[in-house]
Amino acid sequence: MTLRALILAAVLMGGCATTPVTNRTQFMMISTDQEMSLGASEAQKVLKTSKLSTDKALQARVKRIGERIAAVSGRSDFAWEFNVIEDATPNAFCLPGGKVFFYTGILKIAENDDQIATVMGHEIAHALARHGAERLSMQTASNIGAQVLATALNIPAQYQNLYSQAYGITSQVGLILPYSRKFEHEADQIGIYLMWKAGYNPVQALRFWENMARLSRSAQKPPAFLSTHPADVERIAEIREYIAQLPIRQ
């Protein structure tokens, strides 16, 4: 009864939210205000510790594409910012509240504005769907679960830390990582919709991810089930399905 009560209390601490476009119900233990504050704080750290690109034309290009997608995001309350970081890593991210950062490495892979919009839509989708807050909520609930089960099973105190570590590994593979892959699929779907709504060509998303797949084949990657990102073939197939589901433009 104590175990059930503690788990129920952990669940009740959270609330429910719904993702845009996919309308998936989410478990949240982080408020929107907390999330926005975290995003603003982390953005300042990124700006202080990263070297921003001095290529004004590139900065303007990313900002133009970002603003066009932000305009159809339905989040006029976000303080949208778009920055390019001088870094060869093929990466981009969007912090809560609309702080978007592109690395020059990923811009070398994107062959045109539509492909940049593919990345932009995907990263903005993560922020719109509050994936960061959801992941943090699940991790918090997971940590509570580890402590509760260790107590309920009467595990000696000297072994509880070891158990918690083992539980963390189990929950990481069994819960957190699959949800990370779910978030990636969801961000792909929402991102495709956003770029289409903003007037970009979603077919170019296939070209971009094919380029990324070729890049990944030349590098070492963990098995798909241990990766936070879906397998390339799976991702491209699902994106093709998302594109087919889009309304026909008149």
Rg (CA), the chain: 20
In the chain, the number of structural domains is 1
C-alpha torsion angle, residues 102, 104, 109, 115 (rounded to 10): 40
With 0-12 / 13-18 / 19 or more C-beta atoms within 10 angstroms meaning exposed / middle / buried, residue 72 is middle
User: Is residue 13 in some structural domain?
Assistant: no
**pLDDT in 10s for each residue of the chain, 250 residues:** 454 554 445 554 556 788 999 989 888 877 888 888 888 988 999 999 999 999 999 999 999 999 999 999 999 999 999 999 999 989 899 988 999 999 999 999 999 999 999 999 999 999 999 988 888 777 777 666 555 545 554 545 554 454 444 444 444 445 445 558 888 999 999 999 999 999 999 999 999 999 988 887 777 665 554 456 777 888 999 999 999 999 876 4
Q: Maximum Cα–Cα distance for the chain, whole Å?
A: 67
Give the span between the Cα atoms of 121 and 198, in whole angstroms: 10
- What confidence score (pLDDT) does residue 197 get? 97
Q: Which two tokens stand for residue 172?
A: 């990481």
Query: Of 113, 20, 33, 23, which Cα lies nearest the Cα of 72?
Result: 20
Give the span between the Cα atoms of 245 and 110, in whole angstroms: 24
User: Is residue 195 in some structural domain?
Assistant: yes
pTM: 0.80
- What confidence score (pLDDT) does residue 210 get? 93
User: Is residue 21 in some structural domain?
Assistant: no
User: Is residue 12 in some structural domain?
Assistant: no
User: Is residue 153 in some structural domain?
Assistant: yes
With 0-12 / 13-18 / 19 or more C-beta atoms within 10 angstroms meaning exposed / middle / buried, residue 84 is buried
- What confidence score (pLDDT) does residue 171 get? 44
- What confidence score (pLDDT) does residue 168 get? 44
Residue whose token pair is 């979603």: 202
- What confidence score (pLDDT) does residue 17 get? 82
Determine whether 42 is an active site residue. no
User: Is residue 240 in some structural domain?
Assistant: yes
How far the first Cα of the chain sits from its last, in Å, is 59
Check 35, 81, 123, 134 and give the catalytic one: 123
Range of 48's domain?
2-6+31-245
| CB of 133 closer than 8 Å to CB of 30 | yes
User: Is residue 23 in some structural domain?
Assistant: no
User: Is residue 77 in some structural domain?
Assistant: yes
Q: Which stretch of DSSP H or E encloses residue 3? A: helix 2-13
- What confidence score (pLDDT) does residue 74 get? 95
